[in-house]
């Protein structure tokens, strides 16, 4: 075996015997020496030509080689000085990957901040012809651009998160007030699966006699869905003074939605009803809301079935069928979204309408909290969709 020496250290070793196929051919010393020289020159020029910094540090922590890129940036005098003085001026590094590579033979990587730039530094052991580690070679790659982009992204994410938290507070603040209001009592639980929700409900006075109440579910989640809930709320409240029946209100809501010129995958469902305090009649329409509200009292329950297309741009005009029921004191109407019925357990089985009805039959009081608790336990605490449950009770 012959070793070639450069910078006072063994740099490249070649075997006397080169294997070609199954035949071992012995070359003379001059041929091997030429081959060593050629490969050595090639390796040297490769190191000198790359843009990354490269240096070799011996067991004593002295820099014994630095390539052209590193010397141009840090100066020719870095050769022969301790490695920790070549770029940071420190006596000791907190985590010396060079020393560890030499002692353990590991390839180790860390990041350093040098002269205003970030560098990813990888240290690898260098062995002599006998397999003994005598130095470590370090490669410094400038990752400043990546780190600045990362920091910029983190900054933007923080700002976006602040904006989302602000939007969440607004979305929660516009929910109707809980409690008793002129003959009816309203209670609800509202839990987005993400920061913002695509579920929305509202209750408002139309005039001295009538109360409007709706629940809606927007396709998708997140910012776009939450913005659509703002559109629904604003439109319904603007229309309430001029349109006094629920079917005409949803037809107008559809017309306003179509004027937004959105894609066909943007749509929402909504169940809307108007209650008369004077007559006790509750008129309602359903625009594709598959979570059928449940009217119940001490005598039993009824499902407020009604058919109708969702609010979508697929149709230029939609009309809705209006139905009505007579409510009396003590009657309750339970509204909900599919975050309840489509909640899944570990096996993928849905919670379902039947389970909701069982809860109502078995425990007609404290319904909201019972259902929330059941859903949490059923889905092992993993909320997969927005959740909105609303209870309207006639008290006078």
What per-residue confidence (pLDDT) applies to 88? 55
CATH 3.60.40.10 positions along the chain are 176-394
Distance between start and end Cα atoms, the chain: 104
How far is 213 from 392, CA to CA, in rounded Å? 9
Per DSSP, the chain holds a count of helices (H) and strands (E) of: 9, 20
How far is 374 from 368, CA to CA, in rounded Å? 10
Q: Specify whether the CB–CB gap between 319 and 247 falls below 8 A.
A: yes
How far is 47 from 105, CA to CA, in rounded Å? 22
H/E element, 288: none
CATH 3.30.450.20 positions along the chain are 2-146
Q: Quick one: which of 213, 164, 212 has its CA closest to 192?
A: 164
How far is 80 from 71, CA to CA, in rounded Å? 12
Q: Quick one: which of 23, 41, 24, 44 has its CA closest to 33?
A: 41
What per-residue confidence (pLDDT) applies to 25? 42
**pTM, whole model, 2 decimals?**
0.67
Q: Specify whether the CB–CB gap between 310 and 287 falls below 8 A.
A: yes
Residues forming a β-bridge with 390: 188, 335
Per-10-residue mean pLDDT of the chain, 396 residues long, equals 37 35 46 52 74 91 90 86 69 73 91 88 89 91 91 88 89 92 92 88 94 94 90 94 92 96 93 96 97 94 95 93 96 94 88 92 85 84 81 93
Please state the φ and ψ torsions of residue 383, each to the nearest 5 degrees: -80, 120
Between helix 367-378 and helix 352-362 the angle, nearest 10°, is 140
What per-residue confidence (pLDDT) applies to 22? 42
What per-residue confidence (pLDDT) applies to 221? 80
What per-residue confidence (pLDDT) applies to 32? 45
Rounded alpha-carbon distances, angstroms, from residue 195 to 44, 126, 201: 57, 53, 17
How far is 234 from 216, CA to CA, in rounded Å? 13
- According to CATH, the superfamily of the domain at 2-146 is PAS domain (3.30.450.20)
- According to CATH, the superfamily of the domain at 176-394 is PPM-type phosphatase domain (3.60.40.10)
CA dihedral 235, 238, 239, 241 (to 10 degrees): 160
Task: Give the sheet arrangement for strand 281-287, strand by strand.
Answer: 199-205, 210-218, 268-276, 281-287, 323-326
The alpha helices in 129-184, defined as continuous H runs, are 144-173
What per-residue confidence (pLDDT) applies to 27? 45
């Amino acid at each position: 075996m012959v070793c070639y020496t450069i910078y006072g250290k063994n740099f490249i070793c070649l075997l006397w015997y080169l294997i070609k196929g199954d035949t071992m051919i012995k070359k003379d010393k001059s041929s091997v020496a030429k081959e060593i020289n050629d490969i050595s020159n090639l390796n040297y020029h490769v190191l000198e030509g790359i843009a990354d910094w490269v240096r070799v540090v011996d067991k004593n922590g002295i820099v014994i080689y630095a390539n052209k890129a590193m010397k141009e940036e840090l100066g020719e005098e870095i050769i022969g000085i301790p490695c920790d003085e070549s770029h940071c001026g420190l006596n000791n590094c907190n985590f010396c990957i060079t020393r560890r590579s030499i002692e353990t033979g590991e390839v180790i990587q860390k990041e350093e901040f040098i002269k205003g730039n970030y560098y990813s530094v990888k240290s690898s052991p260098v062995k002599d012809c006998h397999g003994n580690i005598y130095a470590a070679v370090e490669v410094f790659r400038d990752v400043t651009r990546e780190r600045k982009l990362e920091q910029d992204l983190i900054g933007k994410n923080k700002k976006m998160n602040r904006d989302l938290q602000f939007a969440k507070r607004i979305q929660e603040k516009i929910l109707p007030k809980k409690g008793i209001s002129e003959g009816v009592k309203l209670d609800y639980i509202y839990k987005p699966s993400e920061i913002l929700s695509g579920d929305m409900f509202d209750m408002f006075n139309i005039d001295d006699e009538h109360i409007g109440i709706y629940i809606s579910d927007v396709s998708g989640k997140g910012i776009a869905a939450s913005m659509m809930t703002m559109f629904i709320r604003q439109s319904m409240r603007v229309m309430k003074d001029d349109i006094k029946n629920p079917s005409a209100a949803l037809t107008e809501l559809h017309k306003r939605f179509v004027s937004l010129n959105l894609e066909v995958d943007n749509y929402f469902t909504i169940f809307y009803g108007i209650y008369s305090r004077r007559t006790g009649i509750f008129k309602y329409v359903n625009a594709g809301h598959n979570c059928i509200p449940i009217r119940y009292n001490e005598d039993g329950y009824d499902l407020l079935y009604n058919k109708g297309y969702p609010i979508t741009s697929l149709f230029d005009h939609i009309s809705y069928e209006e139905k009505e029921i007579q409510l009396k004191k003590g009657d309750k109407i339970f509204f909900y979204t599919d975050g309840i019925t489509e909640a899944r357990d570990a096996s993928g089985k849905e919670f379902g309408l039947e389970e909701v009805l069982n809860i109502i039959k078995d425990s007609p009081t404290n319904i909201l909290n019972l259902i929330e608790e059941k859903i949490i336990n059923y889905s092992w605490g993993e909320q997969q969709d927005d959740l909105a449950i609303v209870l309207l009770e006639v008290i006078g």
